[in-house]
Structure 1
Amino acid sequence: MVGVTDGTEPTGAATSTRMPRALRPFRHRDYRLLVASMAASLFASGVWLLAIVWQVIALGGGPTALSAVSASASAGLLVSVLIGGVAADRLPRRTVLITVEVVRIVAASAATALALSGLLTVWHLAALAFVIGSAEAFYFPAYSALLPTLLPAGELLAANGVEQTLRPVAMQAAGPALAGVLVGAFVPGAGLLAATAGYALALLPLLWIRIAPPTGTVTDEAEETRRSVLADLREGFAYLVRTGWLFASLAFALLYVLLIIGPIEVLLPFAVRDRADGGPAGYAVVLAAYGVGGALGSIAVASRRLPRRYLSTMLVLWGAGALPLMVLGLTTRIWLMAAAAFLVGATGAGAMVIWGTLLQRRVPAHLLGRVSSLDFFVSLALMPVSMALAGPVGDAVGIPTTFVVAGALPVVLAVAAIALWRLHRDEVAHPLTT
């Protein structure tokens, strides 16, 4: 296969047929290295995310201060995401991934040194979070573009399934769990140090990956990309606006992000602390439940046929699945918070599996890349807004009220999207058989 390095292919077809489909990508040496790097990177990011929460609290910061740090990370991701996609098309993807990990190591090392020396401030954290967020924007475009050069086309679906499962397990469950133990036993700086070590571990496998040279020249393609990137983005945006099911789904997703991301990312640690008398370990339990729910929800939906009412099912999963957010604001028990977070994670991830499938099945192939990047971009646009608003809103109306509103409104929005854009008719008129 073009692009797969020597020594990565199995010795015979029988080996492939005997292996479960989900495990077949692991036959390839360079894929094993890539997925090991990704797992370490996701794990380190999970440690980092929880460590900076308690570092802000240790510095005396409240919801507004944490909003500033979280919004800085999302802003870095937002302003860099389109550039990251271009870089993945024009530069060696392995080089991009290596550069990302080096930047993460430097930023996390700086945060660790400042924290352990007692010199760290909230604004230091905000600046470093912006740097790490910017690096994140370059990572997954390059990762996604590198996969087809390492694996046969028939194994890409399984490889993407591995990524979707690893993300919540490593980043939202295992990483925060370790950070909670370290922060609870020592200081938040210990969590920052562990994140630095995790990023260093993620770098090592990338250095050993062997990339086959391309079979064709890229000069003409790069020149064409320079000439047409803005026009291509405009074409993709025009398709998005005029395609009813796509516009309705994305409009709902934007409001969904605005409503739930801020409360989860900014207000949840304060709900754990103030309502349930929990600390870093309790917060880690809730985050871990959210991550495990996401992993199991992804597996459950991906293991079944695509629902006949795929648009309605997707929006109901998102909308009704947000209802447990109300429990997060009202309960005083950690285990109920964890159960609610599990349900939100499971339904949200299940809806994302359907959403990704719909993009692949219903968007024309020549527009899929642009529509996917615009989906990522416009969804990210409201993340920093949500996180910036969550702190002040929580201070103004209270954390319980904020979670109740965030949990109740998505159901109304989901029903409105289905009815106003007649999605129940669209999905019947455009059946997707599996």
Structure 2
Amino acid sequence: MRALRPLRRSAYRRLATALALSVLAEGLWTLAVVWQVVELGGGPVELSLVSGALALGVIVTALLGGVLADRVPQKRILVGVLAMLAVSIGLVAGLSALGALSVPLLVAVAAVIGLSMGLFFPAYSALVPAMVDADELLAVNGFEGVVRPVLLQGAGPALAGVLVAVWSPAAALGATAVACVAGLVAALALPARALRRDLTAEGTGHPVRAVLRDLVEGFRYMVGTRWLLVTLVFASLMILFVLGPLEVLVPFAIIERADGGPGGHSLVLLAYGAGGAIASIVVASLRLPRRYLTAMIVLWSVACVPMVVFGVATTLWPMVVAGFVLGGLFSAPQVIWGTLLQHRVPPALLGRVTSLDFFVSLAFMPVSMALAGPVSVVAGLTPVFLVAGLVPLLFGTVALVVGRLGPDELAHPLESADEVSTA
């Protein structure tokens, strides 16, 4: 199968293993932290604080992560991040088991976890093209598109749900730390890879000025590249309206409207993961659409509509179906997006552009998560989910009309690109 072809390379298998275990840890954390907050007597507002702290940590280090990914061997970054995650989450698990954990302490540790996570993805993304050939990038992104939903929304939350139901949130948090340790072992086994950027020709100026120069160079590329800027602005606005309700309020919709618990929550996340995995395999196994930019924005816009279900359904099964559709429609364009960046962004800029993608598209993530709980308390769950499901359709329409992406995507077909170009 085309999507699995890169796994024949031992170096990429180790990288994929490190990624898979880190995503599994994230999936375990996603559900475990919800029920840890509930066990501590918290509700949507407290969960918003924890989720917002983690999201803010990611944002703070995302830009630095891109600079480091273009300057420091990416293996070192991955090893350091996974070690920090293992220690931080292990500390939370231990304190929870001892009954010494509190919401403020959980917020503080969540921020540390976010700071670490902000460094991971730019390093991973910059390392991928060094591990595989250019014609395997779509397959790599398809495989990643399967791994993320299966483990992040599927196996991770399902396992965490079982551990919470049978034992406690502390057990699920302990399993999260174990997954990080296993990912650390896989990252340590990665081969050394030369940086894709020659720094010797750039002199030995002051490191702070060098970092700022790198950030400015990446920012100029983003602003001067229409398809990149339009897509990132659209994604930022979509995330502002969708991510908070999705991450913070869905568990409480299941509790309050469908009389559910950890099992129901994990079932919805499992459906989300299954939809994402199936869609990713399909996209990775077919030819890329000729109008790939248009396809991405249309799919992401339509993907938000099932959010309405969580605001109106009073039983669990419609929410499960909505989760499946959400997962599929969100993941399919993500496969295209990853391939697009790796084909059209110059290799020396890939780490910084990936981090800018991470930063700009998620800039509103902590705001969305922090506001979701308080807004739902004031306005109610139903209005929040209605807005989250319908407003992104307007953003997508404006992006397609104002962005004028058609001529660009027709002039730069991805399917025929055999090597990375400078766009």
TM-score (ref. length: structure 1): 0.87
Provide the residue aligned with 1:184 in structure 2: 165
Provide the residue aligned with 2:420 in structure 1: none
Contact 2:272/2:328 (8 A) holds in 1: yes
Distance 1:334 1:287 in 2: 12
Q: Which amino acid aligns with 1:86?
A: V
2:240 corresponds to 1:265 = no
Which structure ranks higher in relative contact order (CA pairs < 8 Å, sequence separation ≥ 6)?
Answer: 2
Provide the residue aligned with 2:90 in structure 1: 109
Shift of 1:257: 0.4
Corresponding residue pairs, total: 415
Provide the residue aligned with 1:16 in structure 2: none
Provide the residue aligned with 2:81 in structure 1: 100
Task: Please give the secondary structure, in 2, of the residue aligned with 1:308.
Answer: coil
Map 1:48-127 → 2, pairs under 5 A = 48-127=29-108
Shift of 1:73: 0.5
Shift of 1:36: 2.1
Contact 2:69/2:352 (8 A) holds in 1: no
Q: Which moved more, 1:87-96 or 1:271-280?
A: 87-96
Of 303, 315, 339, 2:297 maps to 315
Contact 1:317/1:351 (8 A) holds in 2: yes
Task: Please give the secondary structure, in 1, of the residue aligned with 2:364.
Answer: helix
Map 1:194-205 → 2, pairs under 5 A = 194-205=175-186
Provide the residue aligned with 2:266 in structure 1: 284
Shift of 1:163: 2.3
Contact 1:316/1:414 (8 A) holds in 2: yes
Distance 2:342 2:73 in 1: 25
Distance 1:363 1:203 in 2: 29
Contact 2:69/2:351 (8 A) holds in 1: no
**Which ranges of 4 or more aligned residues in structure 1 deviate by more than 6 Å?**
212-217
Of 235, 238, 246, 1:253 maps to 235
Distance 1:119 1:396 in 2: 32
Shift of 1:394: 0.7
Provide the residue aligned with 1:169 in structure 2: 150
Contact 2:134/2:343 (8 A) holds in 1: no
Deviations 1:200-223, CA, capped at 9 Å, x for gaps: 222223333443678998555583
Shift of 1:161: 3.1
Deviations 1:66-89, CA, capped at 9 Å, x for gaps: 000001111111111122223333
Shift of 1:235: 3.9
Distance 1:412 1:222 in 2: 48
Task: Please give the secondary structure, in 2, of the residue aligned with 1:190.
Answer: helix
2:36 corresponds to 1:36 = no
Deviations 1:195-247, CA, capped at 9 Å, x for gaps: 11111222223333443678998555583794544334334433433444433
Q: Which amino acid aligns with 1:288?
A: L
Q: Which amino acid aligns with 1:273?
A: I
Distance 2:25 2:165 in 1: 18
Distance 1:62 1:69 in 2: 11
Shift of 1:416: 2.1
Deviations 1:328-369, CA, capped at 9 Å, x for gaps: 111012121011111112111112223334444555666555
Contact 1:31/1:150 (8 A) holds in 2: yes
Provide the residue aligned with 2:139 in structure 1: 158
Q: Which amino acid aligns with 1:99?
A: G
Distance 2:160 2:33 in 1: 10
Query: How big is the alpha-carbon RMSD for the aligned residues of Structure 1 and Structure 2?
Result: 2.7
Using the aligned pairs only, state the percent identity: 50
Larger Rg: 1
Distance 1:120 1:366, change over 3 A: closer
Task: Please give the secondary structure, in 2, of the residue aligned with 1:381.
Answer: coil
Distance 1:225 1:270, change over 3 A: farther
